[in-house]
Structure 1
Amino acid sequence: MEKEGGEERLPDLYETVWSCWEKLDSTEEPSSSYNVQKTIITGITAGMKAIRMVNELCLFSSNEEIEEVATNEIKYLLLPAFVGYFTERKTVKKMEDREGLVKEATAYYTDFLRNCDSYGVAKIDKKLLNLTSESQQKAMCPNGPPQGLAGQMQTREEKIKSFKEKKELDAKVTELHEKMKQEHVDDEIKREYFLGLIKQWVGTAKENLESLQVETTMLGLRHQALDDKPPENKPKEQRKAFRPFIITKDMIQKAVFGAGYPSLPTMTIEEFYEQKVKDGTFHPPTSQGHSMQDWASDPDKDKEAQEREAEEKENKIEQDDPEELQKARAMDDWKDDHRRGWGNRKNMG
């Protein structure tokens, strides 16, 4: 069946599709690997070309029975199933693209099952044949998981029966596959082999369709969640950054910090003290003793005053000054009655 213009032959395209499926069925590489995805793209491309060629040649008709189809053409009924298999294993970067692949794979599997049902190869539930209809999908899953799938759940006995039939079918197809490798194969064996393959893929297509419908529901719920998501709150106003002030020891330090950190407000201790006196936090100093103001005005002079005061106190003690002796005895008595650490214990025992 070679087309004009040197185009690929339908049997060659089918062999390419089959070869791609065998590679994917036996590979242990992850589905996202380059080799796997390359095989998938090759299979999809060859499969779609083959399907278009089948349609152009009008190889199948809804008015025919499977007995009327030529033996070497029966295998082409598998093409939509293969393309569906490749499509659902194709990786995408965005979730929106995944939704499109799920719909495409569903359409291919459904087309395959519809053809099998039309030719009487297998009896297919009508609900599965209408999965591409949006109204049917909504009817199957109005408020959660597809109810249609729940209705298709088999009983335990039916599952056991299906499992046994599948096991027998797999063994039969494996046996026929070995016979197909012989140099001369009877037409009857070929026909039985291709029909066995189709029946195998009917089971595979049903299982994959159920998985795809579950995925369709999950994608739908995801869309709904995104649609129901409230708009993001307006960004909160940023709090003004805390700007510390620096108390410098003298005007030289103020100049240094001011030069290095021009954005930070600075003040000398004298300026700080004057500001506190002005707002009433500190009280003006008395004439007795040294004060913070004295130290701020002239630190060296204040230090000399403290040393002079300490020296006078020491001289009075050495000379047995009555007033200083009385102060010292009072302090000793106070220490005897107030052990260290007693102060401000806040009922700590």
Structure 2
Amino acid sequence: MAEEEREYPTVSSLFNQFLRLYEEIDESDLPTNSDELQKKIKDAVAGLIKATVLVSEVGVFSTNETLEELSTNSIKFLLLPVLLGSLTLKRTDIERMEVLRLSNIYFRDYISRCKQYGITDVELPPEPNDEDQEDEDDATEKRMSRGPPKKGMPTPQELQAMARQREDKIRRFKEKKAMAERLNELKKALKNPSHDEDVVRNYHITMVKKFIFDW
């Protein structure tokens, strides 16, 4: 048995199988609404949900442990909700509002788990309730009734906000590019038969961080 499957062998093998299918879907040139791609998406979702159930049953994660305490083989299971969220966004067999609702649940679960293990400090926006949505709808209706906003020179505050947004986008782009390059380096290192556990661990952690940037 491969080194990475010595712990939680059944769920590890299942996860690896459907991670490969996810990557195949993600790299596919087929139209999203094609029957062939939609079948792969549904198969991948079903497989990853099964893996999620197994991870819960064997108690892989604990609320009081740190990333350092998490075994190398189990780090990759942190990806389960974000993979499910990404695949759900591609589904065309259910209503769009339900797609957005489900994917939001998966993505929030992913970020929450990553925060728990200190992998990210991203702050999740509060979940909107029905009253918030009604207020937003009312505000939108009032803005539309007033017509388009008048064009003019932006205020100093608006210019500062625009500058901060631009700097943040540039920073995130650079970090995302560096993350992708690091992931490629680690992927090449994994092909070396003599690679050690640190390479596997760094690869899994970098994968988790990459999806945070994508989110």
TM-score (norm 1): 0.50
Quote the residue 1:216 is aligned against.
none
Amino acid corresponding to residue 124 of structure 1 in structure 2: V
Structure 2 stretches of 5 or more lacking a match? Answer: 142-160
**Structure 1 residue 30: Cα displacement:** 0.2
> Is the helix fraction higher in 1 or 2?
2
The 8 Å contact of residues 17 and 82 in structure 1, kept in 2 or not, is answered as no
Structure 1 stretches of 5 or more lacking a match? Answer: 3-7, 146-151, 206-349
The 8 Å contact of residues 183 and 207 in structure 2, kept in 1 or not, is answered as yes
What is the rounded CA distance, in whole Å, between the counterparts of 2:135 and 2:69 in structure 1?
A: 36
Q: How many residues align?
A: 188
SS of 1:9 mapped into structure 2? helix
Q: Which one of 109, 120, 123 corresponds to residue 121 of structure 2?
A: 123
The 8 Å contact of residues 14 and 47 in structure 2, kept in 1 or not, is answered as yes
What is the rounded CA distance, in whole Å, between the counterparts of 2:93 and 2:75 in structure 1?
A: 33
The 8 Å contact of residues 115 and 122 in structure 2, kept in 1 or not, is answered as yes
Q: Which one of 174, 184, 189 corresponds to residue 179 of structure 1?
A: 189
The 8 Å contact of residues 16 and 43 in structure 1, kept in 2 or not, is answered as no
Quote the residue 2:151 is aligned against.
none
Per-residue CA distance 1:232-287 (angstroms, 9 max, x = gap): xxxxxxxxxxxxxxxxxxxxxxxxxxxxxxxxxxxxxxxxxxxxxxxxxxxxxxxx
Question: Which structure ranks higher in relative contact order (CA pairs < 8 Å, sequence separation ≥ 6)?
Answer: 2
What is the rounded CA distance, in whole Å, between the counterparts of 1:72 and 1:28 in structure 2?
A: 31
Residue correspondence of structure 1 range 145-156 to structure 2 within 5 A: 155-156=165-166
Quote the residue 1:29 is aligned against.
30
Quote the residue 1:190 is aligned against.
200
Change (3 A) 1:92 1:161: same
What is the rounded CA distance, in whole Å, between the counterparts of 2:101 and 2:11 in structure 1?
A: 26
Give me the identity figure in percent.
28
What is the rounded CA distance, in whole Å, between the counterparts of 2:181 and 2:34 in structure 1?
A: 32
What is the rounded CA distance, in whole Å, between the counterparts of 1:126 and 1:110 in structure 2?
A: 7
Change (3 A) 1:137 1:188: farther
Tell me how large the CA RMSD over aligned residues is. 2.5
In our comparison, the structure showing a higher alpha carbon Rg is 1
**Structure 1 residue 199: Cα displacement:** 0.5
What is the rounded CA distance, in whole Å, between the counterparts of 2:131 and 2:74 in structure 1?
A: 33
Quote the residue 1:168 is aligned against.
178
Quote the residue 2:61 is aligned against.
60
Per-residue CA distance 1:175-215 (angstroms, 9 max, x = gap): 1011112223211111111110000001122xxxxxxxxxx
Runs of 4+ residues over 6 Å off in structure 1: none
Residue correspondence of structure 1 range 301-320 to structure 2 within 5 A: none
